[in-house]
């Protein structure tokens, strides 16, 4: 196992980070499904079911990436206050 000089296990750190990121992604996708956004996408944009729900998933991925960059740049507290 690779470790940093201060004893942190890199493999365990990566695993925890990936699980947390996947959990956030699935939470966003789950909220989009529960709110019933899929049928509105199919009607509004003339999409079939697979395209509507895959666009929801893509939006969750994009939103998580943008929110992560904004949080890195300006800090979590400022982002939460701004978009409250």
Over residues 4-53, the pLDDT tens digits come to 777 788 888 889 888 888 887 788 788 777 778 888 888 888 888 888 88
pLDDT at 8 (0 to 100): 81
How far apart are the C-alpha atoms of 23 and 30, rounded to whole Å? 10
pTM greater than 0.85: no
Q: Is the pLDDT of residue 1 over 70?
A: no
**Is 33 among the domain residues?**
yes
For the chain, what is the domain count? 1
In angstroms, the CA 42 to CA 49 distance is 7
């Amino acid at each position: 196992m690779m470790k940093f000089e201060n004893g942190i296990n890199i493999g365990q750190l990566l695993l925890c980070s990936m699980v947390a990121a996947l959990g956030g992604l699935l939470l966003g996708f789950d909220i989009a499904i529960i709110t019933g956004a899929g049928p509105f996408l199919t009607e509004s944009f003339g999409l079939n079911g697979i395209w509507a729900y895959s666009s929801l998933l893509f939006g969750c991925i994009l939103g998580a990436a943008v929110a992560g960059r904004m949080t890195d740049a300006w800090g979590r507290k400022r982002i939460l206050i701004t978009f409250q």
